[in-house]
């Protein structure tokens, strides 16, 4: 399937569909509705759409109030502003009182591209994951994004959903059954397991395919829900394959790699190699060139798998 769709596009369409089904759904944006795609919803439901201006803290507070009034607010802006500028508003006014606010942040990660490091959030998963009670979802493609958004109609509680700017490969079709908190095992492997999220999932699949030629059996898990993490899936993978590689378009500090490390080091220690942004800021460039530059490719994952396998204790 060479069909490409940006997850933000899928968000815009799914939000509109959910809005048609559920009159309680409202959308908010902070002057980026064309980019985050909430504009699609706003066009059909102007009376249920609030552009609060360039005021991300207020964006989160108003969303909290709308939720208290019985609405299901979806608040969107770029990931760096949503989770950085308004972190404490999300903590105090949304998560601490446990309100049903959905934060869908776009332009996450380095595939933002040309706008450069100021706009490329490599810390958002980490920032959101640390708040008690927050659910964190990183969809792998357009299909999964749509399914996750539709699932939000029935899923109560504060939730962060991370979507991207760039068009990326579709790995799922409509038959896919998304569940919050459930890992999706795409491929089983006996030598190592790649646990990936977001746009690194297609790269992981590519890597696993190529590794077979080198005689390495690598499994692939799409860990779309970073929190609550499907720990059982992580432990099973560690037990069965004995080595783990994580892959994310995010800093290796605090995101998926850290989440997985926390689980395996406590419950089933096996060699682990994390693929991700190595504690540095992003920079301007074309998304594909940046993925190359920051080591977020199938090639980098292949190398990491070989490293992890080499670290496994030798069988006697």
Partner 1 sequence: MALAVDDTKGLVRTACTIRMDIVEMLNKAGSGHTGGSLSAADIVTALYFHKMRHRPSDPKWFERDRFILCKGHAAPVLYAALARSGYFPVDELKTLRQFGSRLQGHPDSKKLPGVEISTGSLGQGLSVACGLALSAKMDEKRWRVYALLGDGELQEGQVWEAAMAAAHYGLDNLTAIIDNNGLQIDGACSEVMCVDSISDKFASFGWDTISIDGHNMEEIIDALDRAEAHKGRPTAIVARTIKGKGCSLFEGKVEYHGTPPSDKELEVALKEIKENF
Compute the least distance from the CB of residue 48 to partner 1, in Å: 7
* Nearer to partner 1 (CB atom), residue 89 or residue 111: 89
The one segment of 51-59, 182-190, 237-245, 260-268 that binds partner 1 by CB under 8 A:
51-59
Catalytic-residue membership of 56: yes
Residues 6+ away with beta carbon under 8 Å from 187: 205, 208, 218, 219, 220
- Taking CB under 8 A as the rule, does residue 284 contact partner 1? no
Number of residues engaging partner 1 in binding (CB under 8 A): 29
In 37-75, which ranges are continuous DSSP H helix? 39-44, 56-68
Is 65 one of the binding residues for partner 1 (CB under 8 A)? yes
CB-based contacts of 139, cutoff 8 Å, min separation 6: 7, 10, 145, 147, 148, 161, 162, 163, 198, 224
Q: Indicate whether 82 belongs to the interface with partner 1 (CB under 8 A).
A: no
Query: What is the closest distance, in whole angstroms, from the C-beta atom of residue 55 to partner 1 in the complex?
Result: 4
Does residue 70 interact with partner 1 by CB under 8 A? yes
Which residues, at least 6 apart from 37, have a Cβ–Cβ distance to it below 8 Å? Answer: 8, 9, 11, 12, 13, 15, 76, 106
Options 66-74, 155-163, 165-173, 293-301: segment touching partner 1 (CB under 8 A): 66-74
Is 69 a residue that touches partner 1 (CB under 8 A)? yes
Catalytic residue among 56, 169, 203, 249: 56
Torsion of CA 295, 252, 232, 195, to 10 degrees: -10
Can you tell me which of 13, 71, 119, 165 binds partner 1, judged by CB under 8 A? 71
Any contact of residue 33 with partner 1 (CB under 8 A)?
no
Residue 25 vs 171, nearer CB to partner 1: 25
DSSP 119: G
CA distance 171 to 148: 15
- Output the smallest distance, CB 27 to partner 1, in A: 13
- Judged by beta carbon, residue 89 or residue 159, the one nearer partner 1 is 89
- Does residue 233 touch partner 1 according to CB under 8 A? no
Residue with tokens 């760096």: 80
Structure tokens belonging to residue 201: 């999932």
Q: Whose Cβ is closer to partner 1: residue 70's or residue 215's?
A: 70
Answer yes or no whether residue 77 interacts with partner 1 by CB under 8 A: no
Cβ neighbours for 181, distance < 8 A, ≥ 6 positions apart: 135, 225, 228, 230
- DSSP 8-class letter at 42: H
**Residues near partner 1 (CB under 8 A):** 26, 47-48, 50, 52-53, 55, 57-58, 60-71, 73, 88-89, 92-93, 96-98
Catalytic residue numbers? 56
């Amino acid at each position: 399937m060479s069909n490409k769709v940006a997850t933000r596009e899928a968000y815009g369409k799914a939000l509109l569909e959910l809005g048609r089904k559920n009159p309680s759904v409202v959308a908010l944006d902070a002057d980026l509705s064309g980019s985050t795609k909430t504009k699609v919803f706003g066009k059909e439901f102007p009376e249920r759409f609030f552009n609060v201006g360039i005021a991300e803290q207020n964006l989160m507070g108003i969303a909290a109030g709308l939720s208290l009034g019985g609405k299901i607010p979806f608040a969107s802006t770029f990931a760096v502003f949503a989770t950085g500028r308004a972190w404490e508003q999300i903590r105090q006014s949304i998560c601490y009182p446990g309100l049903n606010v959905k934060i869908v942040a776009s332009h996450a990660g380095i595939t933002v591209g040309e706008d450069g490091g100021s706009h490329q959030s490599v810390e958002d998963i980490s920032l959101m994951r640390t708040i008690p009670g927050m659910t964190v979802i990183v969809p792998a493609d357009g299909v999964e994004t749509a399914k996750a958004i539709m699932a939000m109609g029935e899923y109560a509680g504060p939730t962060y959903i991370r979507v991207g700017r760039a068009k990326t490969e579709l790995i799922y079709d409509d038959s896919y059954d998304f569940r919050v908190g459930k890992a999706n095992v795409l491929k089983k492997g006996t030598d190592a397991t790649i646990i990936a999220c977001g746009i690194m999932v297609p790269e992981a699949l590519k890597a696993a395919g190529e590794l077979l030629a080198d005689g390495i059996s690598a499994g692939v898990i799409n860990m779309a829900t970073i929190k609550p993490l499907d720990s059982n899936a992580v432990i099973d993978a560690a037990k069965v394959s004995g080595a783990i590689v994580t892959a994310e378009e995010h800093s290796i500090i605090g995101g998926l790699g850290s989440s997985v490390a926390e689980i395996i080091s406590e419950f089933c220690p096996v060699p682990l190699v994390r693929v991700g942004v190595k504690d540095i800021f992003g920079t301007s460039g074309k998304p594909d060139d940046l993925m190359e530059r920051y080591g977020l490719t199938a090639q980098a994952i292949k190398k990491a798998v070989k490293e992890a396998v080499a670290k496994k204790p030798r069988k006697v």
